[in-house]
Amino acid sequence: MRITRPRSVPDLDPAAVDLADPQLYATGDPHAVWLALRERNPVWRQTLPDGRSFWSVTRYHDVNDVLRDHTRFTSERGTLLSTLAVDDPAGGKMMAASDPPTHTAMREPLSKALSARSLRRWEPRIRRMVHRLIAPLADGVAWDIAEASAAFPMAFTGTLMGLPERDWPRLTQLTTMAIAPDDAEFSEGRGTLVAAHHELFEYFADHLHTTRDSADDSLVGFLRGMTVGERRLRQDEIVYNCYSLLLGANVTTPHAVAGTVLAFVEEPAQYARLTLDPGVVARAVEEGLRWSSPANHFMRYTKRETELSGVRLGAGEAVVAWLGSANRDRRVFADPFTFDVARSPNRHVAFGFGPHYCVGAPLARIALRILFEEVVRHVAEFEQAGPVEHLASNFVAGIKHLPVTARLRPGAAERLDAARAAEPRREVVP
Ligand code: HEM
């Protein structure tokens, strides 16, 4: 998605804007549209040409209300605009598409398995993977950091889930097809979304079958042994949750990397601050998350008639909470269109809010922190080396291509070459 810095509230007619159109996010200016909505129509109803309609909320506090209050806003009918008005078959089976108490029963054990404490032992492996990822910077030629980052999440989530490395490229491709079926670079025709879902579900069903008798202490094995109340998860529930974990990681993390590096390219002084004080990396990661807001929106349906910022919503209506907009709300963030690596406080909602707050947030934070620690250790300065291309998706604020060159720090090229030359270890689950 194009990340712009509108200087004033644009004078635009919201009725002329289609917030569901994936192309708006590839070539349009969603930040300008959201700004206009936040200031003039914070709770806005759009009707699509086929008659389906949805509410959009763009202010931080409304977004939080929608995501927090499952008694008024349910996740069980679907949480993405791409499934508007079609009840989600995963409702009540997949954690992300469940309400408490089912949601809580699934979430509690999984969030322990994915806590920062449980993940600590993975940090050295993630650092090795990061070295391999950024090694091409040593070549001194243009390197597409957006394309390279697309493979990054599989390196840690694929490892954690115990998925064979030979499958990672196809899984990366399938998860992108599932969130950007209209992007020409990833589309495989009209049925792209359905085909990607089908292949992913089949993949996990097969994986469960082939690993059924093996001792498996991966995340998939964890799901297999997990109990919800008195019972084990059923096969379809395990498959849906595997899908959700993979998608959650794959389609978001790369865009936090690319969005942050693009901000560094556009504002070299901010990157220079980081190189002078690497202690700022953790805060820079948070600002990069706010700035890029890789998950654009999540959707809910009203369970009954309700009210948001003085507007009445009927029962059973779809409400889309625009996270990227909430993260630019001047009511919460000073100078919201300024990228500030040391921003504090920074209560962004890039990971959502309330009961569905991203269960992978500790993993994403660890991976991004390690990545930017290593970038700062090796790179003195970035320069853009070609045009930026943005993903056509109303769900993921994505960058497809960002060619850069880097001026390396003394000794960095040798260290990166050594990382590349090192025998790639098989990253297996311990
Ligand atoms: C920068 C990276 C990431 C971003 C921006 C992000 C964003 C989000 C957001 C906004 C939600 C809330 C959904 C809702 O309210 O309906 C969410 C939930 C979720 N995320 Fe992430 N995510 C990231 C990384 C990950 C990773 C690495 C994983 C897998 C380990 C993951 C798996 C999930 C799952 C399974 C949920 C559903 C949680 C629930 O329903 O309780 N995410 N994510």
CATH number at residue 59: 1.10.630.10
**414 alpha carbon to ligand 1 midpoint, in Å?**
37
How far is residue 208's CA from residue 222's CA, in Å, rounded to a whole number? Answer: 12
Assess if residue 248 is contained within a domain. Answer: yes
Atom 14 (ligand 1) nearest CA: 356
**248 alpha carbon to ligand 1 midpoint, in Å?**
5
Which residues, 6 or more positions from 321, have their beta carbon under 8 angstroms from its beta carbon? 57, 62, 63, 66, 67, 297, 298, 299, 300
Contact 159, 123 (CB under 8 A): no
Nearest to 59 by CA among 30, 81, 80, 37: 37
Contact 73, 301 (CB under 8 A): yes
Residue 321 corresponds to which tokens in the numbers above?
Answer: 């909470």
52-67 in b/e form (b: 16+ CB < 10 A) is eebbbbbbbebbbbbb
Give the three-state DSSP class for 16.
Answer: helix
How far is residue 396's CA from residue 208's CA, in Å, rounded to a whole number? Answer: 29
Return the pLDDT at 424: 56
H or E stretch at 116? helix 116-119
Assess if residue 409 is contained within a domain. Answer: yes
CA distances (Å), 396 to each of 149, 249, 251, in order? 15, 12, 7
The Cα angle at residue 114 between residues 109 and 120, in degrees rounded to 5? 135
H or E stretch at 301? strand 297-302
Residue range(s) defining the domain that contains residue 385: 33-41+52-421
Contact 4, 31 (CB under 8 A): yes
Atom 11 (ligand 1) nearest CA: 358
Instruction: For residue 408, list its beta bridge partners.
Output: 379
Assess if residue 230 is contained within a domain. Answer: yes
- 430 residues of the chain, pLDDT tens digit each: 999 999 999 999 999 999 999 999 999 999 999 999 999 999 999 999 999 999 999 999 999 999 999 999 999 999 999 999 999 999 999 999 999 999 999 999 999 999 999 999 999 999 999 999 999 999 989 999 999 999 999 999 999 999 999 999 999 999 999 999 999 999 988 899 999 999 999 999 999 999 988 878 899 999 999 998 889 999 999 999 999 999 999 999 999 999 999 999 999 999 999 999 989 999 999 999 999 999 999 999 999 999 999 999 999 999 999 999 999 999 999 999 999 999 999 999 999 999 999 999 999 999 999 999 999 999 999 999 999 999 999 999 999 999 999 999 999 999 999 988 875 554 444 3
> Strands 231-232 and 53-57, how do they pair?
unpaired
Give the E-state strand segments of 358-426 in sequence order.
Answer: 379-384, 389-390, 399-401, 403-408
Return the pLDDT at 428: 43
Assess if residue 26 is contained within a domain. Answer: no
Which residues, 6 or more positions from 23, have their beta carbon under 8 angstroms from its beta carbon? 182, 392
How far is residue 424's CA from residue 410's CA, in Å, rounded to a whole number? Answer: 25
Assess if residue 266 is contained within a domain. Answer: yes
Assess if residue 20 is contained within a domain. Answer: no
Contact 346, 284 (CB under 8 A): no
Q: Is the Cα torsion angle 79, 81, 87, 93 positive or negative in sign?
A: negative
Instruction: For residue 297, list its beta bridge partners.
Output: 322
Please report the DSSP string for 314-344 in residue order: -TT-EEEEEHHHHTT-TTTSSSTTS--TT-S
Assess if residue 163 is contained within a domain. Answer: yes
Nearest to 107 by CA among 95, 90, 97, 119: 95
Q: How many domains does the chain have?
A: 1
Nearest to 221 by CA among 175, 210, 425: 210
**311 alpha carbon to ligand 1 midpoint, in Å?**
29
Assess if residue 22 is contained within a domain. Answer: no
- Atom number, ligand 1, closest to the C-alpha of residue 323: 10
Cβ < 6 A, ligand 1 pocket: 67, 75, 79, 95-96, 107, 114, 157, 244-245, 248-249, 252-253, 256, 294-295, 298, 323, 350-352, 356, 358-360, 363-364
Ligand 1 test: best mutation among 106, 252, 323, most atoms within 8 Å of CB?
A: 252
6-40 in b/e form (b: 16+ CB < 10 A) is eeeeeeeeeeebebbebebbbebbbbbbbbbbbee
Atom 6 (ligand 1) nearest CA: 351
Return the pLDDT at 430: 36
Return the pLDDT at 190: 84
